[in-house]
Chain A
Amino acid sequence: DVKVTQSSRYLVKRTGEKVFLECVQDMDHENMFWYRQDPGLGLRLIYFSYDVKMKEKGDIPEGYSVSREKKERFSLILESASTNQTSMYLCASSSISRDSNYGYTFGSGTRLTVV
């Protein structure tokens, strides 16, 4: 089974701190994604990456950046954490191409609280 591992289940950070959320997948998937999920707002895409060192903005990239130095690892960075970034963060990976149809596999999420 594909496994997507997020480094922390719960995280508490102070306003203004630089925060790193790490995500690692073990199935050689090309695509990786970062989402935040808030009550009533569903899954909102922050950034995604189709390849190493490649990134594209999702729907809500403001206040975030990402890094993909290795295929298996996709990091989400909050440059200066703010209280409105308190949320559940979910990482996912996929190997969807024209001829394959395997879907997205999610990590178990990181619940970040910014105080």
Chain B
Amino acid sequence: RKEVEQDPGPFNVPEGATVAFNCTYSNSASQSFFWYRQDCRKEPKLLMSVYSSGNEDGRFTAQLNRASQYISLLIRDSKLSDSATYLCVVSSRGIFGSGTRLLVRP
């Protein structure tokens, strides 16, 4: 089993939709959780950290479920500009998921 797994997608949604991605991890001792966004031909950039109690940043909500060993990212009111690949990382060893591609259509 891979240390970090994500559904590769693509998720194809209309503007205004709500979409959620999950990221499962195998190491129960993981302490650091993040979501990254990567645009085509660009480097990944930090979208948000994931805290134990869950956290929100505008239209984005991140949650951690330690019991089931996954983190989630919820995007509300999707915009065309949200189209990108979303990567999770759940360890200090720098192991990233392979990413979930989101396409938001007009």
Contacts and interface: CB of A to CB of B under 8 A. Distances in A.
Interface of A: 31, 33, 35, 40-43, 45, 48, 58-59, 90, 92, 94, 96-98, 101, 103-109
Given A104-B46, A106-B44, A94 B94 contact: yes
- Counting contact residues on chain B (CB < 8 A from A), the size range is 20 to 34
Contacts, number: 56
A4 to B, nearest CB: 9
Nearest to B85: A42
Given A42-B98, A101-B32, 17 more contacts: A43-B44, A43-B99, A45-B93, A45-B94, A48-B93, A48-B94, A59-B95, A90-B43, A94-B92, A94-B94, A96-B32, A103-B89, A104-B94, A105-B46, A106-B44, A107-B43, A109-B43
B89 A104 contact: yes
B31 interface: yes
A94 B36 CA distance: 14
B96 to A, nearest CB: 4
Contacts of A31: 92, 94
